[in-house]
Structure 1
Amino acid sequence: MLSLEFGTAAAALGGGILLAVRPDGAFLHADPSVLRRTPFSDWRAPGLLLAAGCGGGFLVAGLLQLRRHRAARLVSAAAGTALIGLEAWEIAFVEFQPLEAVFAGVGAAVVVLALRSPPAAGSRTAERR
Protein backbone atom coordinates (compact mmCIF):
# COMPACT_ATOMS: atom_id res chain seq x y z
CA MET A 1 0.00 0.00 0.00
CA LEU A 2 2.89 2.37 0.70
CA SER A 3 4.03 2.30 -2.92
CA LEU A 4 0.49 3.14 -4.10
CA GLU A 5 0.22 6.01 -1.63
CA PHE A 6 3.65 7.50 -2.24
CA GLY A 7 3.42 6.95 -6.00
CA THR A 8 0.04 8.66 -6.14
CA ALA A 9 1.32 11.48 -3.93
CA ALA A 10 4.30 12.03 -6.24
CA ALA A 11 2.15 11.99 -9.38
CA ALA A 12 -0.42 14.39 -7.90
CA LEU A 13 2.18 16.75 -6.44
CA GLY A 14 4.22 16.77 -9.64
CA GLY A 15 1.26 17.11 -11.98
CA GLY A 16 -0.47 19.69 -9.81
CA ILE A 17 2.62 21.85 -9.53
CA LEU A 18 3.22 21.68 -13.29
CA LEU A 19 -0.38 22.75 -13.93
CA ALA A 20 -0.15 25.60 -11.43
CA VAL A 21 3.16 26.85 -12.83
CA ARG A 22 1.87 26.79 -16.42
CA PRO A 23 -1.90 27.26 -16.15
CA ASP A 24 -2.18 27.05 -19.93
CA GLY A 25 -1.43 23.33 -19.49
CA ALA A 26 1.61 23.40 -21.78
CA PHE A 27 3.85 21.26 -19.55
CA LEU A 28 1.35 18.39 -19.53
CA HIS A 29 -0.30 19.05 -22.91
CA ALA A 30 -3.55 19.74 -21.05
CA ASP A 31 -5.85 21.90 -23.18
CA PRO A 32 -7.70 24.46 -21.02
CA SER A 33 -10.71 24.21 -23.36
CA VAL A 34 -11.68 20.92 -21.68
CA LEU A 35 -12.46 22.96 -18.56
CA ARG A 36 -15.42 24.69 -20.27
CA ARG A 37 -18.03 22.80 -18.17
CA THR A 38 -16.22 23.55 -14.91
CA PRO A 39 -15.85 26.72 -12.84
CA PHE A 40 -12.20 26.97 -13.96
CA SER A 41 -10.88 28.99 -16.89
CA ASP A 42 -7.31 27.68 -16.68
CA TRP A 43 -5.35 24.95 -14.88
CA ARG A 44 -3.90 26.99 -11.96
CA ALA A 45 -6.62 26.30 -9.35
CA PRO A 46 -7.16 22.66 -10.41
CA GLY A 47 -3.39 22.16 -10.24
CA LEU A 48 -3.18 23.62 -6.75
CA LEU A 49 -6.16 21.52 -5.62
CA LEU A 50 -4.59 18.40 -7.10
CA ALA A 51 -1.22 19.04 -5.46
CA ALA A 52 -2.59 20.02 -2.06
CA GLY A 53 -5.63 17.77 -1.80
CA CYS A 54 -4.67 14.58 -3.56
CA GLY A 55 -0.89 14.87 -3.33
CA GLY A 56 -0.93 16.10 0.24
CA GLY A 57 -3.59 13.60 1.29
CA PHE A 58 -1.73 10.60 -0.07
CA LEU A 59 1.58 11.88 1.31
CA VAL A 60 0.06 12.15 4.80
CA ALA A 61 -1.57 8.72 4.41
CA GLY A 62 1.75 7.15 3.43
CA LEU A 63 3.64 8.82 6.26
CA LEU A 64 1.04 7.67 8.78
CA GLN A 65 1.29 4.13 7.41
CA LEU A 66 5.08 4.24 7.81
CA ARG A 67 4.72 5.31 11.42
CA ARG A 68 1.96 2.75 12.03
CA HIS A 69 -0.15 5.57 13.40
CA ARG A 70 -3.60 4.63 14.65
CA ALA A 71 -5.22 7.05 12.16
CA ALA A 72 -3.39 5.55 9.18
CA ARG A 73 -6.21 3.24 8.08
CA LEU A 74 -8.81 5.99 8.23
CA VAL A 75 -6.65 8.55 6.41
CA SER A 76 -5.71 6.02 3.72
CA ALA A 77 -9.34 5.05 3.19
CA ALA A 78 -10.32 8.73 3.02
CA ALA A 79 -7.57 9.53 0.51
CA GLY A 80 -8.59 6.61 -1.68
CA THR A 81 -12.26 7.57 -1.52
CA ALA A 82 -11.43 11.18 -2.37
CA LEU A 83 -9.40 10.04 -5.38
CA ILE A 84 -12.31 7.94 -6.65
CA GLY A 85 -14.57 10.99 -6.26
CA LEU A 86 -12.10 13.25 -8.05
CA GLU A 87 -11.82 10.88 -10.98
CA ALA A 88 -15.61 10.49 -11.20
CA TRP A 89 -15.96 14.29 -11.23
CA GLU A 90 -13.32 14.61 -13.96
CA ILE A 91 -15.05 11.99 -16.10
CA ALA A 92 -18.41 13.73 -15.67
CA PHE A 93 -17.33 17.34 -16.14
CA VAL A 94 -14.00 17.44 -17.95
CA GLU A 95 -13.61 14.49 -20.30
CA PHE A 96 -12.83 10.81 -20.06
CA GLN A 97 -9.21 9.73 -20.35
CA PRO A 98 -7.97 6.21 -19.57
CA LEU A 99 -5.58 7.48 -16.91
CA GLU A 100 -8.60 8.59 -14.86
CA ALA A 101 -9.86 5.02 -14.76
CA VAL A 102 -6.40 3.85 -13.68
CA PHE A 103 -6.29 6.33 -10.80
CA ALA A 104 -9.87 5.49 -9.77
CA GLY A 105 -8.66 1.89 -9.58
CA VAL A 106 -5.69 2.98 -7.47
CA GLY A 107 -8.07 4.81 -5.14
CA ALA A 108 -10.25 1.72 -4.83
CA ALA A 109 -7.22 -0.49 -4.16
CA VAL A 110 -6.04 1.85 -1.40
CA VAL A 111 -9.50 1.82 0.22
CA VAL A 112 -9.68 -1.98 0.16
CA LEU A 113 -6.11 -2.40 1.44
CA ALA A 114 -6.67 0.17 4.20
CA LEU A 115 -9.84 -1.48 5.39
CA ARG A 116 -8.28 -4.94 5.30
CA SER A 117 -5.05 -3.96 7.06
CA PRO A 118 -4.72 -4.73 10.76
CA PRO A 119 -5.24 -1.81 13.14
CA ALA A 120 -2.13 -0.20 14.55
CA ALA A 121 -1.04 -1.31 18.02
CA GLY A 122 -2.52 0.96 20.65
CA SER A 123 -5.64 1.79 18.65
CA ARG A 124 -9.03 1.09 20.20
CA THR A 125 -9.84 -1.51 17.54
CA ALA A 126 -6.58 -3.37 18.21
CA GLU A 127 -7.20 -3.25 21.96
CA ARG A 128 -10.63 -4.92 21.52
CA ARG A 129 -9.10 -7.91 19.71
Structure 2
Amino acid sequence: MAIHRATKRAVGDVRPPMQRPPSRPPIPRGAKVLAAIELITGAMALVGGVLLAIRPDGSLLNANPAALRDSPFPDYRWPGILLAGLVGGGFLIVGLWVLRAGRAAAELSIVAGIGLVVFEVAERFWLGFQVLEVVFVLVGGAVIGLALRVMRSERSRP
Protein backbone atom coordinates (compact mmCIF):
# COMPACT_ATOMS: atom_id res chain seq x y z
CA MET A 1 0.00 0.00 0.00
CA ALA A 2 1.40 3.39 -0.98
CA ILE A 3 1.54 6.23 1.53
CA HIS A 4 1.08 9.81 0.44
CA ARG A 5 3.94 11.76 1.94
CA ALA A 6 2.19 15.09 2.70
CA THR A 7 -0.74 13.62 4.60
CA LYS A 8 0.83 10.33 5.76
CA ARG A 9 -2.32 8.55 4.68
CA ALA A 10 -2.73 5.62 2.39
CA VAL A 11 -3.31 6.54 -1.23
CA GLY A 12 -6.98 6.02 -1.95
CA ASP A 13 -8.03 6.64 1.67
CA VAL A 14 -11.36 8.43 1.33
CA ARG A 15 -11.78 9.56 4.94
CA PRO A 16 -12.07 13.33 5.27
CA PRO A 17 -9.00 14.97 6.78
CA MET A 18 -9.15 15.55 10.54
CA GLN A 19 -10.56 18.94 11.32
CA ARG A 20 -9.79 21.06 14.30
CA PRO A 21 -12.69 21.86 16.56
CA PRO A 22 -14.00 25.36 15.99
CA SER A 23 -11.91 27.82 17.93
CA ARG A 24 -13.36 30.55 20.07
CA PRO A 25 -13.42 34.00 18.58
CA PRO A 26 -10.54 36.18 19.75
CA ILE A 27 -11.14 38.05 22.98
CA PRO A 28 -11.67 41.76 22.30
CA ARG A 29 -9.10 44.14 23.73
CA GLY A 30 -11.59 45.75 26.12
CA ALA A 31 -12.46 42.35 27.58
CA LYS A 32 -8.75 41.56 28.05
CA VAL A 33 -8.24 44.84 29.92
CA LEU A 34 -11.34 44.17 32.03
CA ALA A 35 -10.15 40.65 32.88
CA ALA A 36 -6.67 41.93 33.75
CA ILE A 37 -8.07 44.52 36.17
CA GLU A 38 -10.33 41.90 37.75
CA LEU A 39 -7.58 39.29 38.07
CA ILE A 40 -5.06 41.73 39.56
CA THR A 41 -7.64 43.16 41.97
CA GLY A 42 -8.81 39.68 42.91
CA ALA A 43 -5.28 38.43 43.54
CA MET A 44 -4.44 41.48 45.67
CA ALA A 45 -7.64 41.11 47.70
CA LEU A 46 -7.10 37.39 48.17
CA VAL A 47 -3.53 37.84 49.41
CA GLY A 48 -4.44 40.81 51.62
CA GLY A 49 -7.45 39.03 53.06
CA VAL A 50 -5.51 35.86 53.81
CA LEU A 51 -2.73 37.87 55.49
CA LEU A 52 -5.30 39.64 57.67
CA ALA A 53 -7.04 36.37 58.54
CA ILE A 54 -3.88 34.52 59.54
CA ARG A 55 -2.53 37.42 61.60
CA PRO A 56 -5.67 39.24 62.83
CA ASP A 57 -3.65 41.93 64.59
CA GLY A 58 -2.91 43.36 61.11
CA SER A 59 0.85 43.20 61.60
CA LEU A 60 1.56 41.42 58.29
CA LEU A 61 0.06 44.36 56.40
CA ASN A 62 1.04 47.04 58.87
CA ALA A 63 -2.67 47.65 59.50
CA ASN A 64 -3.46 49.74 62.54
CA PRO A 65 -5.64 47.81 65.03
CA ALA A 66 -6.97 51.14 66.31
CA ALA A 67 -8.90 51.44 63.03
CA LEU A 68 -11.21 48.70 64.34
CA ARG A 69 -12.05 50.58 67.55
CA ASP A 70 -15.58 51.66 66.55
CA SER A 71 -16.19 48.75 64.16
CA PRO A 72 -18.21 45.58 64.76
CA PHE A 73 -14.96 43.58 64.55
CA PRO A 74 -12.64 42.80 67.48
CA ASP A 75 -9.73 42.14 65.11
CA TYR A 76 -8.96 41.81 61.37
CA ARG A 77 -9.90 38.12 61.03
CA TRP A 78 -13.44 38.62 59.69
CA PRO A 79 -12.58 41.63 57.54
CA GLY A 80 -9.78 39.50 56.06
CA ILE A 81 -12.09 36.57 55.41
CA LEU A 82 -14.65 38.87 53.78
CA LEU A 83 -11.97 40.57 51.68
CA ALA A 84 -10.44 37.28 50.52
CA GLY A 85 -13.77 35.55 49.90
CA LEU A 86 -15.98 38.24 48.45
CA VAL A 87 -13.58 40.54 46.65
CA GLY A 88 -10.67 38.16 46.07
CA GLY A 89 -12.62 35.07 45.13
CA GLY A 90 -15.34 36.97 43.31
CA PHE A 91 -13.01 39.02 41.16
CA LEU A 92 -10.78 36.04 40.32
CA ILE A 93 -13.76 33.94 39.22
CA VAL A 94 -15.30 36.75 37.18
CA GLY A 95 -11.94 37.66 35.60
CA LEU A 96 -11.41 34.06 34.48
CA TRP A 97 -14.99 33.93 33.20
CA VAL A 98 -14.37 37.06 31.11
CA LEU A 99 -11.22 35.46 29.63
CA ARG A 100 -13.25 32.38 28.71
CA ALA A 101 -15.82 34.65 27.07
CA GLY A 102 -18.38 32.97 29.29
CA ARG A 103 -22.07 33.64 29.05
CA ALA A 104 -23.07 36.95 30.68
CA ALA A 105 -19.42 37.69 31.59
CA ALA A 106 -19.84 41.44 31.19
CA GLU A 107 -22.96 41.41 33.33
CA LEU A 108 -21.11 39.48 36.05
CA SER A 109 -18.32 42.05 35.85
CA ILE A 110 -20.86 44.80 36.50
CA VAL A 111 -22.10 42.91 39.57
CA ALA A 112 -18.49 42.46 40.76
CA GLY A 113 -17.77 46.18 40.25
CA ILE A 114 -20.89 47.18 42.16
CA GLY A 115 -19.97 44.67 44.87
CA LEU A 116 -16.52 46.24 45.24
CA VAL A 117 -17.99 49.73 45.55
CA VAL A 118 -20.50 48.52 48.16
CA PHE A 119 -17.73 46.68 50.04
CA GLU A 120 -15.60 49.83 50.16
CA VAL A 121 -18.52 52.02 51.26
CA ALA A 122 -19.27 49.53 54.05
CA GLU A 123 -15.59 49.51 54.99
CA ARG A 124 -15.71 53.31 55.18
CA PHE A 125 -18.51 53.11 57.74
CA TRP A 126 -16.86 50.28 59.69
CA LEU A 127 -13.28 51.55 59.75
CA GLY A 128 -13.38 55.23 58.85
CA PHE A 129 -11.69 56.88 55.89
CA GLN A 130 -8.67 55.23 54.28
CA VAL A 131 -7.07 56.21 50.98
CA LEU A 132 -7.24 52.65 49.65
CA GLU A 133 -11.03 52.83 49.87
CA VAL A 134 -11.05 55.65 47.32
CA VAL A 135 -8.66 53.73 45.06
CA PHE A 136 -10.83 50.63 45.08
CA VAL A 137 -14.06 52.58 44.61
CA LEU A 138 -12.39 53.95 41.46
CA VAL A 139 -11.36 50.42 40.46
CA GLY A 140 -14.96 49.26 40.95
CA GLY A 141 -16.19 52.16 38.82
CA ALA A 142 -13.64 51.34 36.13
CA VAL A 143 -14.78 47.71 36.09
CA ILE A 144 -18.40 48.80 35.71
CA GLY A 145 -17.52 51.24 32.91
CA LEU A 146 -15.36 48.74 31.01
CA ALA A 147 -17.97 46.01 31.40
CA LEU A 148 -20.65 48.32 29.95
CA ARG A 149 -18.32 49.09 27.05
CA VAL A 150 -17.68 45.38 26.44
CA MET A 151 -21.45 44.74 26.50
CA ARG A 152 -22.05 47.46 23.91
CA SER A 153 -19.31 46.13 21.64
CA GLU A 154 -20.67 42.57 21.95
CA ARG A 155 -24.14 43.72 20.96
CA SER A 156 -22.84 45.65 17.96
CA ARG A 157 -20.97 42.61 16.56
CA PRO A 158 -22.79 40.63 13.86
For this structure pair, what is the TM-score category when the shorter chain's length is used for normalisation? Answer: 0.7 to 0.9
List structure 1 segments (4+ residues) > 2 angstroms apart after TM superposition.
Answer: 118-121
Aligned residue for 1:118?
151
Rounded to whole Å, the distance in 2 between the matches of 1:95 and 1:89 is 9
Count of residues in Structure 1 that have an aligned counterpart in Structure 2: 123
Aligned residue for 2:61?
28
Task: Compute the displacement of 1:120 (Å).
Answer: 9.6
Rounded to whole Å, the distance in 1 between the matches of 2:121 and 2:45 is 16
* Mapping 1:59-78, distance limit 5 Å: 59-78=92-111
Q: Which has the larger radius of gyration?
A: 2
Task: Compute the displacement of 1:92 (Å).
Answer: 2.4
Structure 1 portions without partners, runs of 5+: none
* Mapping 1:94-109, distance limit 5 Å: 94-109=127-142
With the length of structure 1 as denominator, give the TM-score of the two structures: 0.88
Is the contact made by 2:49 and 2:83 (CA closer than 8 Å) also made in structure 1?
A: yes
Query: Which one-letter code corresponds to 1:60 in the other structure?
Result: I
- Superposed CA RMSD in Å reads 1.8
Identity of aligned residues (%): 49
Rounded to whole Å, the distance in 2 between the matches of 1:12 and 1:49 is 10
Tell me the alpha carbon deviations over residues 65-102 of structure 1, each in whole angstroms, 9 at most, x when there is no partner.
Answer: 01101121121111110111111122222121212111
